[in-house]
Amino acid sequence: MSTNPPDLRPDLARATLTGDKRPGQPTIGMVSLGCPKALVDSERILTRLRAEGYGISPDYSGADAVIVNTCGFLDSAKAESLDAIGEALNENGKVIVTGCLGAEPEFITGAHPKVLAVTGPHQYEQVLDAVHAAVPPDPNPFVDLLPASGVKLTPRHFSYLKISEGCNHACKFCIIPDMRGKLASRPAHAILREAEKLVENGVKELLVISQDTSAYGLDRKYSTHPWKDREVRSHITDLARELGQLGTPKDLWVRLHYVYPYPHVRDLIPLMADPDTALLPYLDIPFQHSHPDTLKRMARPAAGAKTLDEIARWRAICPDITLRSTFIVGYPGETEAEFQHLLDWMDEAQLDRVGCFQYENVDGARSNALPDHVPEDVKQDRWNRFMEKAQAISEAKLAAKVGQTLDVIVDDIDAEGIATCRTKADAPEIDGNLFIDEGTEGLSVGDIVRVEVDEAGEYDLWAEVSAHERIKR
């Protein structure tokens, strides 16, 4: 029997879901694919269902119906989504489809005509209507208790905090604005209230996500809202400052994702350099490429040379800042000279964490019509060369951390007592890990502790709990 999400889905592998249910309680399963933004949508849907008395099933056979939250960003992601829908149909039979691929209902029903309903991204009410039609609710207000933080599909000690939907950019390789619409920011006080509630319920790390975090509040004209005893703008600088005050680095981490390198981003860096803020010195910036001609063909809002200058400014203000990014190789028209420019740029930028994708067409993307598509074997060769460069940079940067004392957050402790942790430079699921293989007695998942690094690899570190930390405990 296949199982849903804990053992089957890597994005939910460590979520805490149980099969416990009261007699007669209707239950729903959830398969969540794609990015953390989709994961937050899944959490919201499940929270609404739990509030209506539905149980959350950890496997297909125990569910009265299954919701598949799909990804449609790339053709390969669409194929994965169709496979997941087919698997849920085979294992359960009653399937409701939502998410980004739901923006193309005919594509889904053409492959799987037996699905009960198809809804688009963040169409929560339509998903609930489909669930009600398939499995009528049967709430018991005396038994069905909803946790204050809602239903979470991440481990208890970290949580994604979505601050906006949609995107105003028109990058030629991307169809997200078509699927998720234009930028729609949440008001600052609503985000801060959610964040405060998460922290009160034991969350130790808040991962701020959106499609374009730097643009947060632009659509609201940076409106101000009352928070505590002051007014706070719906602007990323104000929001980051307030989130950083919800705790100290000893008990809370706040990490920013998907930050475009607009000029006002430099206002975030002094906040990150403050030793008393919970805001981590970490920026996840999707540069995508370095060559100005490639960026122009992508219709990206950035320029490689200016970006190097900005990176130098950031590091001058906050030397400990960690920079992570993603890149595309083999974009239509990319010449060998343009690719070599990217490799040379990487040598100068010395980014800490890097991911890379080979370009692929996406149905509906304007880049499909560009001339001079790069052959598959050339894409693969460039990806190999890029990753070799990125790996060498990562290995050297990690080797320099041997002998340092670092703060880490504990993600897992296995049966043999080996602790899997992350440093401030590591986001969950996408960056490296730090392992402690002895002396972990007394540690718990979610702890933030000091360690001394004694070994480094290509992407990961090994350490032991510092002597001071052992005495403290």
Nearest to 74 by CA among 422, 326, 316: 326
Alpha helix positions (H), 157-303: 176-180, 188-200, 236-244, 268-273, 292-298
Token representation of residue 358? 């080979």
Return the half-sphere exposure (C-beta side, CA atoms, 13 A cut-off) of residue 275.
1
Asked whether 43 and 150 are in contact (CB, 8 A), the reply is: yes
Q: What is the DSSP track for 260-275?
A: ---GGGGGHHHHHH-T
Q: What is the DSSP track for 115-177?
A: -SEE--TT-HHHHHHHHHHHS-----TTT-PPPTT---SS-TTEEEEE-EE------TT--HH
At residue 444, what are phi and psi to the nearest 5 degrees?
A: -130, 155
Which residue do the tokens 């942790």 mark?
421
Query: Measured between alpha carbons, how far is 438 from 88 in angstroms, rounded to an integer?
Result: 41
The answer to whether 421 is a known ligand-binding residue is: no
Cα-Cα-Cα-Cα dihedral sign, residues 17, 20, 23, 29: positive
The answer to whether 100 is a known ligand-binding residue is: yes
Nearest to 299 by CA among 310, 288, 285, 311: 288
Based on its alpha-carbon atoms, the radius of gyration of the chain, rounded to whole angstroms, reads: 23
Q: Quickly count: other Cβ atoms within 10 Å of residue 24's Cβ.
A: 7
Under DSSP, the state recorded for 22 is -
Query: Given the DSSP bridges, would you call strands 205-209 and 253-256 parallel, antiparallel or unpaired?
Result: parallel
**Integer angstrom CA distances of residue 262 from 212, 216, 298, 307:** 11, 12, 17, 9
Burial class (CB in 10 A: 0-12, 13-18, 19+), 346: buried
The answer to whether 318 is a known ligand-binding residue is: no
Q: Quickly count: other Cβ atoms within 10 Å of residue 442's Cβ.
A: 11
Query: Measured between alpha carbons, how far is 31 from 8 in angstroms, rounded to an integer?
Result: 9
Token representation of residue 18? 């149980």
Known binding-site residue numbers for [4Fe-4S] cluster: 35, 71, 100, 167, 171, 174
Known binding-site residue numbers: 35, 71, 100, 167, 171, 174
